[in-house]
A = this chain, B = another copy of it.
Amino acid sequence: MPDILHAVGIKATPHQVYTALTTIKGLAGWWTSDTDGDPETGGVIHFHFGPKAQVDTKVLEPKRDTLVLWEVLAAHDDWIGTKIRFELRQDGDTTLVLFKHEGWRSPTRFMHHCSTKWATFLVSLKTSLETGKGTPFPDDVQISSKAA
């Protein structure tokens, strides 16, 4: 099955990146500013993208400062049952984030779109940590000229 893969290097400690991936405040700083739910292990986080789109993820067992893993419970049909993985590796004074959105059943047009969109959100994660200001929804980078 095809995966979406990305990597960004962030001038921050693994713990700072881990915090941005495991707290509502951190997540709201780079993916969507309208985030709520329970970010603890076993909890469900709700990511809202306006009235028409929402992603609910279950938080699977993390490894502190090293791995964050979600299972998608509710979202666009293509996403149901997929997993979203963030591996963190310290590299000098930076942290490398290796990202994988895995379990896509086929390389749909929507998968192409999501791959590009994930890249822009991972750059948002990077800038949220390096400058204090990311570009979460609704201030996200537009990659289509109409709604996806």
Query: Of B2, B9, B115, which one neighbours A143 at CB under 8 angstroms?
Result: B9
Q: How far is the CA of A123 from the CA of B116 in the complex (A)?
A: 9
A48 interfacial contact with B, CB 8 Å:
no
**In the complex, what residues of B have CB within 8 A of residue A126's CB?**
143
Number of interface residues of A (CB under 8 A): 35
List A1-17 residues whose CB lies under 8 Å from chain B. Answer: 2-11
Stretch at the interface among A27-35, A75-83, A106-114: A106-114
* 6 A-B pairs with the lowest CB-CB distances in the bound complex, closest first: A119-B119, A9-B144, A7-B112, A94-B145, A6-B116, A9-B145
List 5 interface pairs A-B (beta carbons < 8 Å), by A numbering. A5-B112, A92-B146, A96-B109, A98-B112, A126-B143
